[in-house]
Structure 1
């Protein structure tokens, strides 16, 4: 299993995470510039400078003449234009939508609608774009340093939004000259469903350091990609997931769709409903939600808030999966994301992204059952599979 480990001993911010990932990937500034150039049209400007021990550092600054703030509708348009994978677009949109839960944006327009600063937009989208190319299976974090922001009493204080997004993670406060963990850093940890775990044993594939800092200082962010030793030789991926279940016999059937959509929006891997008979032969439904361990609490809260149950059961189970790879393919019908499922180095299954096929079907009128095999056949011929 390919794992990303983020060392937050010095805290975390979006700009430092971008710098660390650039250093880890060995990506040069001009390569990153070309890949993210479309963001400049939205008023995001940035500069890449050398950091601690040669590590990369990123500063993201809105251009004075550009668009300095974004409404949520503009965020959706920005993500639609991007070349991010569908899963990453959904994760980015979820991160920005999560800001609504804290009750405010960075500022408001005349109508009071929340607006987001262009620097924050760049930090979130830039970091997720780099993670998009790593294709890791899990993200772990060290305990998070939240010190450095001084309150009115002269003591270290944590802003309410930062503490909200770090809920459930292990934190500590070690003060310094700068705010150790920023809103963008906390929001990214939440978007990545990072869990606070010790550094797992595994084969180190790459490491990176981000954040401009004086020589010998401890303000940089360190990241590592590992392949866990006991799984490196396996032709499939293994890991642990959480299975949550509850039996419901008194809920309006129309409300199940709303519940399902909320669970998927917050990171559920799968949600399904099974008809059952309860005591006294009452017809009922068993709700099953499968998730990552880090998402158990927030998904459990959704089940308890948005269904009629008053309790649920959960267990952690092992799983094995085929390795999945994603590729962009320019078919004769238009761009399509292709999913490749592999057993070791052997490609055993090729599927086309449903949302891309749906879009093409709506544009061309070609039925999905005819379109799907045509796109897959074109891809196989081009890739000689």
Structure 2
């Protein structure tokens, strides 16, 4: 079976933590360095090394900026308005700061837009110089990514991450996406983090990712106009728009950055782990800020069971005094109410009466509701219910583009191979719209599926 990426975000997630964890998982460092050197950007270098956190050997990925681009984002006392968060020393090869590396990536427009400027102003009192950061719109950032010497899949992933960020900022500040100007997110370090994450995901050939929950802190962080709540608005918007599950903790601080949340939103395919799985490899990535728990992102490559078991219900009743019109109507009603399958079997009942046996397949939680539909819409006076275990192949529904338009395709996995089944409704719709034979359209949709060479003939 294909390997699945599992991101364990018990200490949150940020861009640099993700890259470090993927490198520790086996992404090729030389491939990454070549990719980053091809970016049409200046003023940065990357540092990759091993550090120790809580006695664990973990990977650290750091974007080192020149003085013109430095963002001075590790002043915990300033960011959180109190002196509880202190920096760790350099013992055992650790970075000076534990947690997430880029507070600028957490705030990017409007009220949150100028946290970097405020940090700079604060830094001037400590001998730092005030620097101007570039403001980039989504169009400019996508241009930078498009001109990097990276694979098309890596470009697509990086662009998807930035579009998710743009949508979040657009919603937060009430402006169209094309008018969102990424100040901090558009800064060099965050562009490097996102492109690096996309390159590593591509290098590891990640096609499925499980992220059950993102553990987030609480309290407030400082922005230009004062303190704003955690999760910051961009993270809240990304989580809401993409169905990410957040778990708030008592830790006072920001554990999930918008870049980290956007990466998860862009790559997550599942939010539940297989019931049983084997671990192929584990990688751990370090962050830069100090909190009560060590900020480590653990990534695993896992293999789940090829098939999984669940429980369904079968509702069954024999009906000998219902018209065909009634039975046709009740089938439509049952599907509308969530039945997974409905079918009739001709039978002969007592006194040699011709009749139909109605069978409904459904989930346990839908059974009561569907029984009420059957009682209301037919003449039956009794329904048999049988709960059964079944074994199913892992499956998902994807959207594919064809010359005739978009179509839904069910993908089932068997022994590491994908089987593609175009959805009838979309194939029929495209056939009618373009006046093309159904079988021709069906095959056209299958031909547009990814990894076509791995398709096994459907039995």
Asked whether the equivalents of residues 7 and 299 of structure 2 are also in contact (C-alpha less than 8 Å), the reply is yes
Match of 1:226 among 281, 302, 310: 302
Q: In the superposition, relative to structure 1, how do residues 87 and 144 fare at CA in structure 2: closer, same or farther (>3 Å)?
A: same
Paired residue for 1:240? 395
1:56 aligned onto 2:129? no
Unmatched tracts of structure 1, length 5 or more: 232-237, 245-256, 262-268, 278-282, 286-318, 325-339, 349-385
Structural RMSD (CA): 4.5
Asked whether the equivalents of residues 137 and 179 of structure 2 are also in contact (C-alpha less than 8 Å), the reply is no
Counterpart CA distance in 2 for 1:19 and 1:179 is 19
- How far does residue 94 in structure 1 lie from its aligned partner after superposition? 2.2
- How far does residue 17 in structure 1 lie from its aligned partner after superposition? 0.6
Asked whether the equivalents of residues 44 and 61 of structure 1 are also in contact (C-alpha less than 8 Å), the reply is yes
Paired residue for 2:211? 141
Paired residue for 2:160? 94
Counterpart CA distance in 1 for 2:140 and 2:244 is 31
SS, match of residue 83 in structure 1:
coil
Counterpart CA distance in 2 for 1:16 and 1:100 is 21
Aligned residues: 264
Cα-to-partner distance string for 1:246-276 (whole Å, 9 max, x where unaligned): xxxxxxxxxxx9x959xxxxxxx98956349
1:80 aligned onto 2:81? no
Moved over 4 A (4+): 66-69, 104-108, 151-156, 212-217, 269-273
Asked whether the equivalents of residues 35 and 148 of structure 2 are also in contact (C-alpha less than 8 Å), the reply is no
SS, match of residue 6 in structure 1:
strand
- How far does residue 150 in structure 1 lie from its aligned partner after superposition? 2.1
- How far does residue 225 in structure 1 lie from its aligned partner after superposition? 0.4
1:172 aligned onto 2:247? yes
Counterpart CA distance in 2 for 1:103 and 1:170 is 19
SS, match of residue 50 in structure 1:
strand
**Normalization by structure 2: what TM-score?**
0.48
Q: In the superposition, relative to structure 1, how do residues 83 and 151 fare at CA in structure 2: closer, same or farther (>3 Å)?
A: closer
- How far does residue 165 in structure 1 lie from its aligned partner after superposition? 1.1
Asked whether the equivalents of residues 106 and 117 of structure 1 are also in contact (C-alpha less than 8 Å), the reply is no
SS, match of residue 249 in structure 2:
coil
Paired residue for 1:189? 264
**Normalization by structure 1: what TM-score?**
0.56
- How far does residue 31 in structure 1 lie from its aligned partner after superposition? 5.9
Asked whether the equivalents of residues 215 and 255 of structure 2 are also in contact (C-alpha less than 8 Å), the reply is yes
Q: Which moved more, 1:62-71 or 1:164-173?
A: 62-71
Paired residue for 1:202? 277
Asked whether the equivalents of residues 230 and 253 of structure 2 are also in contact (C-alpha less than 8 Å), the reply is no
- How far does residue 212 in structure 1 lie from its aligned partner after superposition? 4.3
- How far does residue 134 in structure 1 lie from its aligned partner after superposition? 1.1
Asked whether the equivalents of residues 62 and 68 of structure 1 are also in contact (C-alpha less than 8 Å), the reply is no
SS, match of residue 67 in structure 2:
coil
